[in-house]
Chain A
Amino acid sequence: KQEVTQIPAALSVPEGENLVLNCSFTDSAIYNLQWFRQDPGKGLTSLLLIQSSQREQTSGRLNASLDKSSGRSTLYIAASQPGDSATYLCAVRPRSGGGADGLTFGKGTHLIIQP
């Protein structure tokens, strides 16, 4: 059964720092990996999606990498801002026969950017 682990569980850094969030998964048979942001009491905002054949994706100050063979992904946030404070979730879409499976999520990294 696929398991997704995110490290660290919580992170607090001063504004302006670059930071890396880590995600690992146990089964490399995936269609894709997706990073989300969740604000308190809110739904999910998709940040980046990496297909299994890709190594990285970039959007603005965010860069996500994927090493499928080792079951790892990282989310790099450059020049962090207080508005980046949120919980960041990593999720994989398992590869199965039906092609319509839901996502398996990690517990998230709770990020606080200090002004």
Chain B
Amino acid sequence: GAVVSQHPSWVICKSGTSVKIECRSLDFQATTMFWYRQFPKQSLMLMATSNEGSKATYEQGVEKDKFLINHASLTLSTLTVTSAHPEDSSFYICSARDSGRGVNQPQHFGDGTRLSIL
């Protein structure tokens, strides 16, 4: 089945550090990937849509200069949390849809990255 690999799974770092999270589709190509964030006891919230070869689309209230997204190939999207602060601590998870199988295919999720900023 379709596999999405997300790395790293856990990050602990000091305030002010920039953190990069990778999301890879291992056995399919994805022109579009999605980044979500989940705070404790809350639902997953879509942050942005990552588009291969073009700019990402950010949801309302998400700072594009804070959360940099790069989708340079059909199998890799990266999310960089710039100058992270404790309020950015959360569970970040990506998903991808197989672009070769039509628009109504399920999204496949990575295992997520737990980010803790001290």
Interface of A with B (CB < 8 Å)? Answer: 4, 31-32, 34, 36, 41-46, 49, 51, 89, 91, 93, 99-108
Contacts and interface: CB of A to CB of B under 8 A. Distances in A.
Given A101-B49, A102-B34, A107 B109 contact: no
A32 B110 CA distance: 20
Contact of B43 (A45, A49, A99, A105): A105
B112 A42 contact: yes
Interface of chain B, helix or strand or loop or mixed? strand
Interface of B: 6, 32, 34, 36, 41-46, 49, 51, 93, 95, 103-104, 106-112, 114
A3 B9 CA distance: 29
Interface of chain A, helix or strand or loop or mixed? strand
Contacts of A32: 104, 106
Contacts of B41: 107
A103 B32 CA distance: 13
B71 to A, nearest CB: 12
22 contacts: A31-B103, A32-B106, A34-B107, A43-B109, A44-B109, A45-B109, A46-B106, A49-B106, A89-B44, A93-B107, A99-B103, A100-B103, A101-B49, A102-B34, A102-B107, A103-B46, A104-B46, A105-B45, A106-B43, A107-B41, A107-B42, A107-B43
A81 B108 CA distance: 25
Smallest CB-CB A-B distances: 5 pairs: A43-B111, A102-B46, A44-B109, A102-B34, A105-B43
